[in-house]
Structure 1
């Protein structure tokens, strides 16, 4: 398993895991202190998940783009595994709150939002690279948590604000699923775009 340790270290996964843990814990503490509800509301949960996903988004490419595209390694399988493990890690961290008095619930909403935002981040990585992959999730999340957004019977509103729609909302679930599957396939098959050598070469 030495290759796995090297892979995780080269992708800065320990740093991302620590950052995601800190962000999720901070949102949980604030909810515990400043609200009486046992369930962390969908807006706070969505913002927290977005920030945790952004932390892991930085791990979706390595320092050497040429190495990430070499034919001697089964990169599609490795990239897919990396993305799925990132999703599992974020979901596990959020699920730990169910042992306390302030919880990220329901689980269906946590899974939907994590999968959708991670897929959107992976899609961004495939198109513009990991360094900019956080932009689309940030913009969509900020739009979804606007005060004018909320549970709605209008399909267009449900799609625009899928992050805060109740669990089980069909349009929101479909939107998140499409983002998750599209992002997974695009990232697994393509990876990130090749950057100029000047951007990846070590400083001398």
Structure 2
């Protein structure tokens, strides 16, 4: 078998690619009336949770003992997960009349992928979903504010034109992708 096929199978990527559009379509159909930043962000979160399901292999000892350039594979994995989750949300939301801006979807998906990468690196792949879910939950219940702290904490629901929310998501994405690529899952 080819290394790409083995890597994809060991990370459950084929099943995630099949489930991803289904989950996004279900989330969109349940939340799109009306399509708000809250519902769009929740749909992005659902896509990220499916796309990041395989951040660790089934046998950590086997992964640690092979002479494979893991940083490259892990980087490609997160970048392709970001691309797949973003594309799924952007395509499905076009079924409605009021799609969110592409900037909003890209920002939310990238930031949440970064959070998942950070959680996988420091807490393990099984807990990778906790960081994006918890941050999204705090942002959803937090009262919107104009302070810098409020804008950083509520970045998933902030305006796509706000530089603070965009930079927060970009920093989370860069930190998560870098940490996961270099160190891998705990």
Q: TM-score, length-normalised on structure 1?
A: 0.84
Structure 1 contact 144–162 (Cα < 8 Å) conserved: yes
Q: Within 5 Å, give how 1:1-204 maps onto structure 2.
A: 2-32=2-32, 35=33, 37=34, 40-70=35-65, 72-97=67-92, 99-102=94-97, 104-146=99-141, 148-150=142-144, 152-193=145-186
RMSD: 1.8
Which aligned runs of 4 or more in structure 1 are off by greater than 6 angstroms? none
Structure 1 position 57, deviation (Å): 2.4
Cα shift readout 1:73-128 (whole Å, capped 9, x = no counterpart)? 11001100000000000111112135422454100010111110000000100101
**Counterpart secondary structure, 1:145:** helix
- State the Cα deviation string for residues 18-74 of structure 1 (Å, max 9, x = none): 332222101222245xx2x4xx21111212222221222221110111232346111
For the 8 Å contact 2:114–2:175, the answer to whether it is kept is yes
Any gaps of 5 or more consecutive residues in structure 2? Answer: none
Mean Cα deviation higher: 23-32 or 120-129: 23-32
101 and 122 in structure 1: CA distance in 2 versus 1, 3 angstrom threshold: same
- Alpha-carbon offset, residue 156 of structure 1: 1.1
Q: Is the 8 A contact 2:48 2:113 kept in 1?
A: yes
| SS of structure 1 residue aligned to 2:100 | coil
Aligned length: 186
The structural deviation recorded for 1:139 is 0.9
**Which structure is larger by alpha-carbon Rg, 1 or 2?**
1
Long gaps (5+) in structure 1 = 194-204
